[in-house]
Amino acid sequence: MTGSTRTETVRPADTVPPGLPGLDPRYSHVLTDAHGGSWHYLDNGPALAALGTQPVGTVLAVHGNPTWSYLWRRLVTDAVDAAAQGGPAWRVVAVDQLEMGLSQRTGEHRPLARRVADLGAFTDALGLAGPVVTLGHDWGGVVSLGWAVDHPDLLAGVALLNTAVHQPDDAPLPAPLRLALAGPVHRLGTRTTRAFLDTTLALARPRLPADVAQAYRLPYLTADERDGIEGFVADIPVDDAHPSAPELARVAAGVAALEVPAVLLWGPHDPIFSDRYLDDLVRRLPHAHVHRFADAGHLVAEDADWTPAVLRFLSGVPLGVLPAKGSGADAPHARGAVAAARAGSEFVPLWAGLDARAAEELPAVLDMGVTDADGTPRAVSWRALDRQVRRVAAGLHGIGVRRGDRVSLLVEPGPTLTALVYACLRIGAVVVVADAGLGVRGLTRAQRGAWPRFVVAQRKGLAAARALGWPGVRISAEPLAPAVRRALGVAHELVDVARAGEGRALPPEPGPQDEAAVLFTSGSTGPAKGVVYRHAELSALRDALAAHFDVGPDTGLVTGFAPFALLGPALGTRSVTPRMDVSSPRTLTARAVADAVRASDARIVFLSPAAILNVVGTADALDGADRAALGRVGTFLSTGAPISADLLGSAAELMPAATAHTPYGMTECLLVTDVTLDGIREAAGSPDAGVCVGTPVGGAEVLVSALDADGAATGEPSSAPGVLGEVLVRAGHLKERYDRLWLTDLAAERDTPPGRWHRTGDVGHLDDQGRLWIEGRLAHVLRTADGPLAPVGPEQHVERVPAVRRAAVVGVGPAGVQQPVAVVETVTGVRRPGPAPEGLAAEVRAASPVRLAAVLVVPRMPTDVRHNSKIDRGRLAAWADRALTGGRLGAP
């Protein structure tokens, strides 16, 4: 217990009027400190006492400018509800800073150092005892962190919503703050009028209800009551000469030394505290849990369902001896060490394959886009590749790229990209890879989410980075004219970086626990997510691929599947990407594959299902030499999405000597199971529904969590055959975590067995031979009156109707009584979407193993952004529901 002078009274109810949305007046209190300061605050302590519950600790919540303690009303209430349900009882004290909210107006200016001291005086007067978790938003985040730094004996953790403790030298102050600080605007916008207040409230996503917005305005109805808003804005340190700059620097340095658990909850659509400031906080608190609420903005406490995240965090805060920074089972380095142990007792880095062949003049990477005078594709030898990797690595280090720095690579596959990837990995930089197929919006979300410090790109990527404001120091992967370089904001050219790195020593290599890459998912089941891999997991993936597919120095790889395009050097074998638009796999032709195979003499071909569709469709263009080259392929893989036996068989006919495989995996675990074309054909005689994807390989394990009557995966994970449920996977090459999506990580690891498992979101079952059958996505399971129904099995039956090219079975109606509806794309095509012709509908109903409420036709199935083999069932379901309830029959 600290402090001794304490006077506390309950504020009269007419000061905090009843009826403020979400705020019970009984939580409102007033405290007068030893210096005469009168503080208003919310406190759920009496409510916990009424439950007969002793708090395990206190959350000290501090608002920013121009909000007040009303910001924290949900947490005050939800913490009581959680305690009433048997959870840990956390007292929440949400204070109004002096000059703000319903606290006293003293008329005095309160710079940052004084506000930090004020908060200490308040907690002294309150007699606040530890353990304490601070919680802050906006400039209240800095004040709360100042208190945290000054009270290490009481501190148990820190939680932050959008805030900042440092303004980088190379970035201007956010535009809204520059405007608010402008001489003629400052007083007019912050005190004379409500402009600053109303502008802040307008940042809510979605718009605040009128009564909630009015509740925020309650303490600031007159100019005198807004004096604190004006002073708070004036106290923003715009540069090192500002009077509050030393205190901000002191707090920032203190934050980096904190050794308590931390959580950062962020709204990325914030024009003031952008992800730039989140990145800075992550660097100071590398052990923090981080979650970005994709649609939230500055007022994240209003925009997102954030209180469960705080309560979840609080439940894990140790209340005894505090852990050292980065310790514990969930700390990044500890988790990486576990991954390294799974990968094997001796860590072999990803670049070991390149090192082993560094003296050879044999081809390592071929560039199908650059040819010699005789038309031969340019080949980069192992010796040349090793030299370039070392030059680029040293050059990048020379311009400031350090271990842990994120480097986004927007470069087409080929020797340049290969050299960049291995150069970054050698110096411990984290490679950020987002497929151009995500589109402008998806790429922007990915770049801002990962927040790289550097971006290496070709002209098209540089133009996008400039136009869309993507973060990162820009490095051009190709020479540019000076005027173009200036226009695109390019700081360096790769050729100069490599030249500067010639002969320079490399820094120490990263270890297995260090982050290596952030790979973005396809976005086919929601916004694309960054998946973090450490060096241990990437090395384990290399080993699994090498062992299962028998990859050796003489194998050679042709890969039109982006995730595997860069593994050639790691596997110690030559590699080539066929001529294609990598952002659109459907541009790959059979002739391009044959050219790549012939140039590289490769024995393994990796393709995606979307690419295979066009390869098969353009096979007529192959000549005898092309077919002879393809006839030397020994292994053919379709990777990226399930594929039908017919399509796989058609591709295999082009490579008659190859064993055709279709591995199952996802960005989170790129290799889980595998099945050959012969295995698929053998399984075709089974009564099992779904797509057979084979048995686990590469040390992977698979379990299934059974679906309950509501379609939720609640069953104990098991390997029992014939159980429909969510697929869980584990492997040495399983991803480390999602990037800055802590709550998504928790969901993916919910109710899993000991060890680190991942809930895939796929549904299916294991058969009595241990083979996995995929039957759709968990989000697409129909919730019928007869129980959960996975869509893929019925779809397969419908697709046996000769007139049907593709089918989707979706549910319409309320959950629990949904009715199955078949939506089909016909072989001959239709001009307009709508009810299927009577004859076709009858055939489809006869083929379906479930009773269909309707059969609809569409000209073309909607598919996801990258895999045109993946039907967007969610979009189809919404369209079918509209179509059957009298809505407009536009294209889905």
Predicted pLDDT at 3: 39
Longest distance between any two alpha carbons in the chain, whole Å: 94
Class of residue 469 by CB neighbours under 10 A (exposed 0-12, middle 13-18, buried 19+):
exposed
DSSP secondary structure letters along 715-765: SPPB--TT--EEEEEE-TTS-SEETTBHHHHHHHTTT--SS--EEEEEEEE
Q: Which of 802, 774, 760, 734 is nearest to 869 (CA)?
A: 774
pLDDT band at 341 (very low <50, low <70, confident <90, very high): very low
Q: Is residue 500 located within the same domain as residue 420?
A: yes
**The pLDDT of residue 462 is above 50:** yes
Kindly state the average pLDDT of the residues 150-174: 89
Q: Is residue 388 located within the same domain as residue 249?
A: no
Q: Is residue 735 located within the same domain as residue 846?
A: no
Locate 210 and state its tokens.
């009128």
Domain range for residue 133? 7-167+244-315
Q: Is residue 47 located within the same domain as residue 113?
A: yes
Residue 573 lies in a domain: no
C-alpha distance from residue 552 to each of 357, 542, 568, 603, 698 (Å): 12, 12, 10, 10, 16
Q: Is residue 37 located within the same domain as residue 118?
A: yes
Residue 559 lies in a domain: no
**The pLDDT of residue 7 is above 60:** no
Residue 532 lies in a domain: yes
* Residues near 262 by beta carbon (within 8 Å), at least 6 away in sequence: 157, 158, 159, 160, 285, 287, 288, 289
Locate 200 and state its tokens.
């802040």
Predicted pLDDT at 867: 46
User: Residue 206, preceding bond cis, omega within 30 degrees?
Assistant: yes
Residue 715's identity, in one-letter code, is G
Q: Is residue 346 located within the same domain as residue 462?
A: yes
Predicted pLDDT at 869: 56
Instruction: Please report the beta strands in 235-303, taking only residues with DSSP state E, as ranges in sequence order.
Output: 262-266, 289-292
Q: What is the dihedral of CA 438, 441, 445, 448, to 10 degrees?
A: 120
* Residues near 207 by beta carbon (within 8 Å), at least 6 away in sequence: none
Predicted pLDDT at 584: 73
**The pLDDT of residue 560 is above 70:** yes
Predicted pLDDT at 174: 75
Q: pLDDT by residue (tens digit) across 837-859?
A: 999 999 999 999 999 999 999 99
pLDDT band at 523 (very low <50, low <70, confident <90, very high): low
Predicted pLDDT at 618: 94
Rounded to an integer, what is the distance from CA 582 to the centroid of its chain?
22
Tell me the CATH number at 742: 2.30.38.10
Residue 477's identity, in one-letter code, is A
Kindly state the average pLDDT of the residues 808-819: 94
Whole-angstrom distance, CA of residue 460 vs CA of residue 122:
55
Predicted pLDDT at 583: 66
**The pLDDT of residue 187 is above 90:** no
Q: pLDDT by residue (tens digit) across 39-64?
A: 999 999 999 999 999 999 999 999 99
Q: Which residue has the higher pLDDT, 586 or 280?
A: 280
Residue 285's identity, in one-letter code, is L
**The pLDDT of residue 544 is above 60:** yes
**The pLDDT of residue 644 is above 80:** no
Q: Is residue 113 located within the same domain as residue 29?
A: yes
Q: Which of the residue ranges 174-183, 202-211, 620-629, 659-668 would you say has the lowest mean pLDDT?
A: 174-183
First to last CA, the chain: 63
Kindly state the average pLDDT of the residues 335-354: 64
Locate 601 and state its tokens.
């003499």
Alpha helices by DSSP H, listed for 90-133, are: 112-126
| Mean pLDDT (the chain, rounded) | 90
Predicted pLDDT at 334: 34
**The pLDDT of residue 205 is above 60:** yes
**The pLDDT of residue 344 is above 70:** no
Alpha helices by DSSP H, listed for 291-356, are: 300-303, 307-315, 332-343, 352-356
Tell me the CATH number at 60: 3.40.50.1820
Cα angle vertex 53, ends 51, 58, to 5°? 120
Kindly state the average pLDDT of the residues 334-355: 64
Residue written as tokens 């919006």? 441
Whole-angstrom distance, CA of residue 349 vs CA of residue 356:
12
Q: Which of the residue ranges 277-281, 398-402, 529-533, 683-687 would you say has the lowest mean pLDDT?
A: 683-687
- 834-835 sheet: strands from edge to edge: 804-812, 819-826, 854-857, 834-835
526's enclosing H/E stretch is none
Q: Is residue 715 located within the same domain as residue 809?
A: no
Question: Which of these three, 747, 780, 813, is where a domain ends?
Answer: 780
Q: Is residue 861 located within the same domain as residue 728?
A: no
* Residues near 281 by beta carbon (within 8 Å), at least 6 away in sequence: 160, 163, 164, 165, 255, 264, 288
Query: Quick count: other Cβ atoms within 10 Å of Cβ 725?
Result: 29
* Residues near 18 by beta carbon (within 8 Å), at least 6 away in sequence: 25
Predicted pLDDT at 887: 67
Whole-angstrom distance, CA of residue 365 vs CA of residue 359:
15
Residue 465's identity, in one-letter code, is A
Backbone angles phi, psi at 242, to 5 degrees: -65, 140
pLDDT band at 812 (very low <50, low <70, confident <90, very high): very high
Kindly state the average pLDDT of the residues 421-440: 92
Strand pairing of 515-520 and 473-476?
A: unpaired
Tell me the CATH number at 481: 3.40.50.12780
**The pLDDT of residue 866 is above 70:** no
Locate 840 and state its tokens.
């076709």
Predicted pLDDT at 389: 98
Q: Is residue 820 located within the same domain as residue 770?
A: no
Q: Which of 216, 222, 219, 181 is nearest to 201 (CA)?
A: 216
C-beta separation of 475 from 456 below 8 A: yes
* Residues near 642 by beta carbon (within 8 Å), at least 6 away in sequence: 609, 662, 664, 691, 693, 774, 869
Residue written as tokens 């990486």? 336
> Is the Cα torsion angle 770, 775, 778, 784 positive or negative in sign?
negative
Whole-angstrom distance, CA of residue 272 vs CA of residue 275:
10
Locate 879 and state its tokens.
């369209």
Kindly state the average pLDDT of the residues 761-779: 96
**The pLDDT of residue 1 is above 70:** no
pLDDT band at 526 (very low <50, low <70, confident <90, very high): low
Whole-angstrom distance, CA of residue 853 vs CA of residue 782:
13
Residue 195 lies in a domain: no
Residue 214 lies in a domain: no
DSSP reduced 3-state for 882: helix
Predicted pLDDT at 713: 97
Strand pairing of 691-696 and 669-674?
A: antiparallel
pLDDT band at 587 (very low <50, low <70, confident <90, very high): confident
Whole-angstrom distance, CA of residue 457 vs CA of residue 463:
9
Whole-angstrom distance, CA of residue 390 vs CA of residue 684:
51
Residue 411 lies in a domain: yes
Number of domains within the chain = 4
Q: pLDDT by residue (tens digit) across 593-641?
A: 999 999 999 999 998 887 888 899 999 999 999 999 999 999 999 987 7
Tell me the CATH number at 880: 3.30.300.30
DSSP reduced 3-state for 814: coil
Q: pLDDT by residue (tens digit) across 679-705?
A: 999 998 889 999 999 999 999 999 999
Residue 867 lies in a domain: yes
Q: Is residue 292 located within the same domain as residue 424?
A: no
Whole-angstrom distance, CA of residue 111 vs CA of residue 224:
18
DSSP reduced 3-state for 317: coil
Q: Which of 160, 118, 109, 168 is nearest to 139 (CA)?
A: 160
Residue 201 lies in a domain: no
Rounded to an integer, what is the distance from CA 107 to the centroid of its chain?
46
Whole-angstrom distance, CA of residue 792 vs CA of residue 770:
19
Q: Which of the residue ranges 176-180, 279-283, 503-507, 574-578 would you say has the lowest mean pLDDT?
A: 176-180
Helix %, strand %, coil % of the chain (to 5): 35, 20, 40
Whole-angstrom distance, CA of residue 62 vs CA of residue 145:
10
- 473-476 sheet: strands from edge to edge: 490-493, 473-476, 454-457, 406-410, 430-433, 515-520, 530-534, 737-738
Predicted pLDDT at 525: 63
Whole-angstrom distance, CA of residue 258 vs CA of residue 277:
18
**The pLDDT of residue 736 is above 90:** yes
**The pLDDT of residue 570 is above 70:** yes
Q: Is residue 775 located within the same domain as residue 788?
A: no
**Percentage of the residues of the chain whose pLDDT score is greater than 70:** 93
DSSP reduced 3-state for 369: strand
Predicted pLDDT at 388: 97
Question: Which of these three, 780, 804, 828, is where a domain ends?
Answer: 780
Residue written as tokens 């087409």? 412
Locate 17 and state its tokens.
């009027």
Question: Which of these three, 538, 562, 597, is where a domain ends?
Answer: 538
Q: Which of 541, 578, 549 is nearest to 562 (CA)?
A: 578
Whole-angstrom distance, CA of residue 532 vs CA of residue 371:
36
* Residues near 732 by beta carbon (within 8 Å), at least 6 away in sequence: 339, 342, 343, 344, 536, 537, 540, 544, 698, 699
